[in-house]
Structure 1
Amino acid sequence: MNTVRASSTVDKPTAINLIVGMTLWMSLSVLVVQLFSVDAGFDFAQLYRLLALSGLSATAWHFVFFWLGERAMQSRFIYLSTAALLIPAFAMVWLLMHPPLSYSALQWLAVACGFGGAQFIAFTRNDKIDKTGLGWTLAVNAGIAGIGIVIAQAALPFLSSINLFGALAGTPWVSTHGSGDIVGVIAPGASLWLANMGWIIIAAIALASIVWQVARRTQDDPAKPFGTITDRTHYRAILRNKHTWVMTLLYVMAFGSFIGFTITFPLSLQNFSATYTPSALTYAWIGPLLGVLARPFGGWLADLFGGSKVTLWCAVVLAISSVVAGVITYKATHSPLPEQWFLGYLLVFLVIFIATGAASSAIFRSVSVVLPLEQLPLALRWLTAVASAGAAYIPALWYVNSTTATPAYALFVFALFYVACVALVAYMYLRNKAEFYNP
């Protein structure tokens, strides 16, 4: 059997911890929309900046976990890092129970929530798996943490509209703009218990702790001491390999776009037009869900047709979709009836999410071919760490464009980047004389 060293399927206790971490991080994408809805006193530029700060924090922690090597993959490390999420969760409860909100305090909260995003880099011990199914297996692993994204954007808006915790949630906020959840539109004047989000995450962390304690008694050695740090020669080897850098850029295109658009999408829907206030949280979760579902499908296609071909197709789709989204945004900005463009904008972004999800898995498949097998586990974590910067630079670009009132320009910039990725894939991996053809 042709085998390769890679992450095995994530065990249940680890999966729950990863989901909780991602739920906390992505709760910020919901919170910024709700802060606009209750007119907390912040403009869109300030809200985008909160998202960028959170993404920057997550990226920084990704690199910390990356350099910790195998220590960051130990079950006890994952458990303790999840327990540390109680700090931002309680901070969220405290802030949302005691208005008015301080913007500086919200900035610190955004930075703290970014720590939850670092859980995404954690994988379990490396086992041998069938190389012919590598794209599918890695896609399932990565898709598990994506469940936390969907939970945050689909469940939290609905649960924050219900008085679940009584006095523990404080005085309810009152929406002044139209809001929404998975059920439908929330009209202005409705009560919102925003502190519910923090309490729900605290409950999820408690659940993760219980599951881990139970697993500790039933597994062979889930709580063994921290492992040794990965040999530093492995770090040097992957960073000196040109294919590492090519794949890193392509993964920034794929997963970087997915995570960046995921954290930005709800607010970008809410900010679709100055004269039109859509029910953003009613629809925003659909895009990340489709992206998560596309990951196993993209991995299967990559196993069937080759990673580079699937990556090329996805990059072409991303380039075209970004141009279309940019044109729609420009038209809506200058239209007396911007609502007529909203459905088109939403549908185009759903296509973008599907393409980024499929491309992410296809690139993982290609990495397994172009890099030596012993470098693969560390290289996958490197790609994840770098690409997570998409959660920082994409909301940062929206911040810049919201301050200059040119929201369409960011999408045209993305289109140019995707076209460059098309050329890179074609030159490096789809030429007959390429070192690796269609890996």
Structure 2
Amino acid sequence: MLNLGFPFEKSDLFTLTAIAGLTGATLRIPSSFLIRLCGGRNTLFFTTSLLIIPAVGAGIALQDKNTPLWVFQLMALLSGIGGGNFASSMSNISFFFPKKEQGLALGLNAGLGNFGVTTMQVLVPLFMSIGVFGALGGDPMKLITTSGSIIGKIPAGTDAWIQNAGFVWLLFLAPLALATWFFTNNIRTDEVSPNISGPLGSFSKITLMFAIAFFAALVGLWLMLPESVNGSGFGVPKEIVLVIVVVLTVYLLKALPGEIRTSLNRQYRIFNNRHTWVMSIIYTMTFGSFIGFAAAFPLAIKVIFGYSHVMADGVMTHDQINPNGPSALQYAWIAPFVGALIRPVGGMISDRVGGALVTQICSVIMVISSLGVAYYMHAAYSSPTPEEYFVPFFLIFLVLFAATGIGNGSTFRTIAIVFPKEQAGPVLGWTSAIAAYGAFYIPKVFGEQIKATTPEYALIGFAIFYTFCVFLNWWFYLRKNGEFYNP
């Protein structure tokens, strides 16, 4: 982490991750239903263009060390639009391909989407070391302490254009927004977008539906966060917050009048299909784990291996810097890179041998690898030389990420088989919305267990959940007398 003198505590910074994770997942809920209501081109162009706001805002805010925390919280809140954009794209692309090809098509879309996240984990630190935007990018700041990076150690006193972490996104968002407008279409069929509005009307509907999702996310964040970071201080448990946010979003959206309500009433039929809920759980196992681990992995490396864990007066302490600890920035991007890159492979294999079978194999691997990671986390967190356990920890985590990626691709194939075409798009968006709460939930669990000095408990808990998913997947989709036998 770069030390540039911003007056924030580490715990304050981690709330930004929680805000972005909760909002990004919540905005996926309305986005699941936008394609049929507003059209693919209208939706993707507008949501991509909206992402320019937090990119520019973050770049400006990062130029001043006196920028208050609430500004960064607002930018984190607006960055959640990216989660909604992803859900819309998944729903949109499901209408382009026959069922026999949807595993690969959706896997490519999702894999390349998450590949962008890992790519930016590499590009952002590089752009922060160069004044590529000239006078428009502002003046550099000086590092206060030596920091680790993907390219090694950066000494104190080095110039850093940290504001480029925001501005660099403009190099991609601006051309992508134009590309979605000129090279995509609003599909018009009886099942998809039968009576969509013009661009301005569609933009208005998207804005209204997003406003509801933002409101629900803000209510949840206020209930959960402490007063020191602009919350209520009530400390409502995260599990209750998730339920409140999801239920509030779904019901407020349905309360909207006119054409929106008519469209949503039709699309909300997916909630009467029990397989929507089954696939939400299974998809959470794969994508929820992927996105959650991607957010928590750097923290796990830094806290577990970046400090020496020694006994002092009969008490284990965890605040002594480990000079031999690995750099989180140098290694953390590799695991999600593997998980994202391999997702299309999962879809392609599933198109050939069946989605449920691939999901089952991946689920078992996730159970075993989670327990393996838990073992080495416990060993490292009890050792004055935790770096000795880093290699097996890292390699097993790579296996875990690969399993989430392949399993994620295979769930796309199962959804395409189980649901009719009219429902498949909204279901893909909805399941991705529920699973995306992993970006909020998993880092919170990691943080709580690290604070309790038992980080391995987090992985053991996840392994128990994966075991349940093994049974669930077998019962509904692998039993020969199951409703949707999908080997």
Q: Normalising by the residue count of structure 2, what TM-score does the alignment of the two structures yield?
A: 0.76
1:96-124 Cα distance to aligned partner (Å, 9 max, x none): 11104533333222212222222101234
Q: Which residue of 2 aligns with 1:296?
A: 344
1:57 CA displacement:
0.7
1:281-323 Cα distance to aligned partner (Å, 9 max, x none): 2222212221122111111221222111111111111111111
Q: Which secondary structure state, in structure 2, belongs to the residue aligned with residue 406 of structure 1?
A: coil
Q: Distance in 2 between matches of 1:377 and 1:251?
A: 14
Decide which moves more: 390-399 or 65-74.
Answer: 65-74
Q: Which secondary structure state, in structure 2, belongs to the residue aligned with residue 205 of structure 1?
A: helix
Letter in 1 for 2:451: T
Decide which moves more: 194-203 or 76-85.
Answer: 76-85
Letter in 1 for 2:474: A
Instruction: Report which of the two structures shows the higher radius of gyration computed on alpha carbons.
Output: 2
Does the C-alpha gap of structure 1 residues 195 and 174 become closer, same or farther in structure 2, counting only changes over 3 Å?
same
Q: Distance in 1 between matches of 2:5 and 2:358?
A: 44
Letter in 2 for 1:302: S
Q: Which residue, out of 236, 240, 249, partners 2:281?
A: 249
State yes or no: 1:348 paired with 2:396. yes
Does the C-alpha gap of structure 1 residues 362 and 193 become closer, same or farther in structure 2, counting only changes over 3 Å?
same
Q: Which secondary structure state, in structure 2, belongs to the residue aligned with residue 58 of structure 1?
A: helix
User: Is the CA contact 2:35–2:88 (under 8 Å) kept in the aligned structure 1?
Assistant: no
Mapping 1:4-15, distance limit 5 Å: none
Q: Distance in 2 between matches of 1:91 and 1:307?
A: 42
1:127 CA displacement:
4.1
Q: Distance in 1 between matches of 2:134 and 2:154?
A: 20
Q: Which residue of 2 aligns with 1:60?
A: 26
User: Is the CA contact 1:428–1:434 (under 8 Å) kept in the aligned structure 2?
Assistant: yes
Unaligned runs of 5+ in 2: 189-196, 203-258, 308-320
Mapping 1:91-130, distance limit 5 Å: 91-123=57-89, 124=92, 127=95, 129-130=97-98
1:416 CA displacement:
1.1
Q: Which secondary structure state, in structure 2, belongs to the residue aligned with residue 179 of structure 1?
A: strand
Q: Normalising by the residue count of structure 1, what TM-score does the alignment of the two structures yield?
A: 0.83
User: Is the CA contact 1:169–1:196 (under 8 Å) kept in the aligned structure 2?
Assistant: no
Q: Distance in 2 between matches of 1:110 and 1:76?
A: 24
Percent identical pairs in the alignment equals 34
Q: Which residue of 1 aligns with 2:314?
A: none
Give the number of equivalent residue pairs. Answer: 403
Q: Which residue of 1 aligns with 2:108?
A: 140
Q: Which secondary structure state, in structure 2, belongs to the residue aligned with residue 122 of structure 1?
A: helix
1:139-173 Cα distance to aligned partner (Å, 9 max, x none): 11222322321221111111112232345332324
Unaligned runs of 5+ in 1: 1-32
Q: Distance in 2 between matches of 1:126 and 1:369?
A: 12
CA RMSD of aligned residues (A): 2.8
User: Is the CA contact 1:136–1:303 (under 8 Å) kept in the aligned structure 2?
Assistant: yes
Q: Which residue, out of 419, 428, 436, partners 2:467?
A: 419
User: Is the CA contact 1:140–1:295 (under 8 Å) kept in the aligned structure 2?
Assistant: yes
Q: Distance in 2 between matches of 1:72 and 1:399?
A: 39
Letter in 2 for 1:331: A
Q: Which residue, out of 120, 133, 140, partners 1:165?
A: 133
Mapping 1:54-93, distance limit 5 Å: 54-71=20-37, 73-93=39-59
Does the C-alpha gap of structure 1 residues 340 and 139 become closer, same or farther in structure 2, counting only changes over 3 Å?
same
Mapping 1:24-423, distance limit 5 Å: 33-34=1-2, 37-38=3-4, 40-71=6-37, 73-123=39-89, 124=92, 127=95, 129-167=97-135, 168-174=137-143, 176-181=145-150, 183-212=151-180, 215=183, 225=199, 231-273=263-305, 274=307, 275-276=321-322, 277-423=325-471
1:421 CA displacement:
0.8
Decide which moves more: 78-87 or 204-213.
Answer: 204-213
User: Is the CA contact 1:83–1:209 (under 8 Å) kept in the aligned structure 2?
Assistant: yes
User: Is the CA contact 2:140–2:159 (under 8 Å) kept in the aligned structure 1?
Assistant: no
Q: Which residue of 1 aligns with 2:243?
A: none
1:278 CA displacement:
2.6
User: Is the CA contact 1:66–1:72 (under 8 Å) kept in the aligned structure 2?
Assistant: no
Q: Which residue of 2 aligns with 1:18?
A: none
Letter in 2 for 1:86: I
Q: Distance in 2 between matches of 1:314 and 1:44?
A: 35
User: Is the CA contact 1:59–1:389 (under 8 Å) kept in the aligned structure 2?
Assistant: yes
1:246 CA displacement:
0.6
User: Is the CA contact 2:356–2:411 (under 8 Å) kept in the aligned structure 1?
Assistant: yes
Q: Distance in 2 between matches of 1:195 and 1:394?
A: 28
Q: Distance in 1 between matches of 2:87 and 2:334?
A: 24
1:13-53 Cα distance to aligned partner (Å, 9 max, x none): xxxxxxxxxxxxxxxxxxxx43xx44645454433322111
User: Is the CA contact 2:33–2:429 (under 8 Å) kept in the aligned structure 1?
Assistant: no
Q: Distance in 2 between matches of 1:46 and 1:278?
A: 24
User: Is the CA contact 1:173–1:194 (under 8 Å) kept in the aligned structure 2?
Assistant: no
Q: Distance in 2 between matches of 1:199 and 1:341?
A: 38
Q: Which residue of 2 aligns with 1:28?
A: none
1:55 CA displacement:
0.4
Does the C-alpha gap of structure 1 residues 115 and 197 become closer, same or farther in structure 2, counting only changes over 3 Å?
same
User: Is the CA contact 2:350–2:413 (under 8 Å) kept in the aligned structure 1?
Assistant: yes
Letter in 1 for 2:72: L
Q: Distance in 1 between matches of 2:94 and 2:474?
A: 32
User: Is the CA contact 2:40–2:187 (under 8 Å) kept in the aligned structure 1?
Assistant: no
User: Is the CA contact 2:19–2:76 (under 8 Å) kept in the aligned structure 1?
Assistant: yes
Q: Which secondary structure state, in structure 1, belongs to the residue aligned with residue 480 of structure 2?
A: coil
1:267 CA displacement:
2.9
Q: Distance in 1 between matches of 2:462 and 2:181?
A: 45
Letter in 2 for 1:79: F
